[in-house]
A = this chain, B = another copy of it.
């Protein structure tokens, strides 16, 4: 494809992360250096701002401002859960035409890749020159093709630290503790709790993920077994766990349910799943005296200071590379990460571009080599995870 001269637009979509502004700044800094890109428009609230022409100009931001922005959690441009249909996209094109926008960068998850894909298809239909690049971002780590997703490493660090602290808390004041962690369809984030284990009796002792169905009877047996053996039990549970029929446990727990614009059931922002699990346990095992449940909720994705260095760097890199693919390569697609070394000490990555259709609306669940049996995450997962999270504090113990 030929190089296009024109303005660029950047949007952020879906749930914020602690490093999503790194990607934004990666795009801005790279685009500032390109002759073929004129103005750099930031769209307020993703496609919503694109449709309404609600832009802020970013091409003149200086290095210091950008650096401060990159280190600020959450989506500085605002975000959206809107998923454009054809009419919506036509309105966006009107705005693009009017503003001579020929570069479209969209930072988000698989819904955002879908949005980019639809816009890209439509641009071809109406013969409008548009480079459309999806920049991966999700704490869920559930995008297809890429080895892992920017945003995940830092959220995984939060989960690991939270469970490390909670394991010490539970060891000091024993009982059953259940922690609900984000993850609608996949257990990548919950499984990061593995990093909290430093000694043989450390929790989380059980880790339940959506990939492996969990009958309630099995949950109760598991907790009871650990409690009897260790006098305590710390449990990490994905919000999206299901029973043996694939029914969400969270769904049963909710009396009032809300759905977002994509037709998803709202799982976060409520403590009901933890409360359901506790009440089932209390009924089955009244002899266990102390039971508590926490839902980590939104703290997992935007907590200032809890940032993985590798994650922050990679989030910046995928933004920067997006501009290179759109300009030097004149390509459309989704930026993905390839791991060049399996070893922790030598961890290296490179980016590549994958077709938007290979990422759009697809979900990458944890493979069987990482999880097969309810409550258990395989050790092999740690080799995958460790370099993405980076170093964690060591906890001391009295003999």
Contact = CB atoms under 8 A, between A and B. Distances in A.
Contact of A396 (B69, B78, B164): B69
A282 B164 CA distance: 36
Contacts of A374: none
Given A166-B299, A256-B282, A396 B73 contact: no
Interface string A120-145: 00000000000000000000000000
A172 to B, nearest CB: 4
A265 interface: no
A177 B275 CA distance: 20
Interface in A216-237: none
Given A165-B74, A305-B305, A68 B396 contact: yes
Interface in A53-88: 56, 58, 65, 68-69, 71-81
Interface in A268-316: 268-272, 274-275, 278-279, 282, 291-299, 301-306
B396 A71 contact: yes
A94 interface: no
Interface residues of A, number: 68
Contact of A76 (B295, B296, B304, B398): B398
Interface stretch (A12-20, A32-40, A319-327, A356-364): A12-20
B69 A398 contact: yes
A258 B279 CA distance: 12
A42 to B, nearest CB: 7
A4 interface: no
Quickly give the copy total for this chain.
Answer: 2
Nearest to A21: B396
Interface in A151-206: 161-162, 164-166, 168-169, 171-173, 177
Contacts of A306: 305-306
A367 interface: no
Contact of A294 (B12, B256, B299): B299
Nearest to A162: B299
Contacts of A165: 18, 73-74, 298-299, 301-304
A146 to B, nearest CB: 23
Nearest to A261: B289
A256 B274 contact: no
A299 B296 contact: yes
A98 interface: no
A397 interface: yes
A271 B292 CA distance: 10
Given A161-B303, A296-B299, 12 more contacts: A16-B169, A56-B398, A58-B398, A65-B396, A72-B395, A72-B397, A161-B305, A162-B299, A165-B298, A165-B302, A165-B303, A169-B301
Interface of A: 12, 15-16, 18, 42, 56, 58, 65, 68-69, 71-81, 161-162, 164-166, 168-169, 171-173, 177, 256, 258, 266, 268-272, 274-275, 278-279, 282, 291-299, 301-306, 392-399
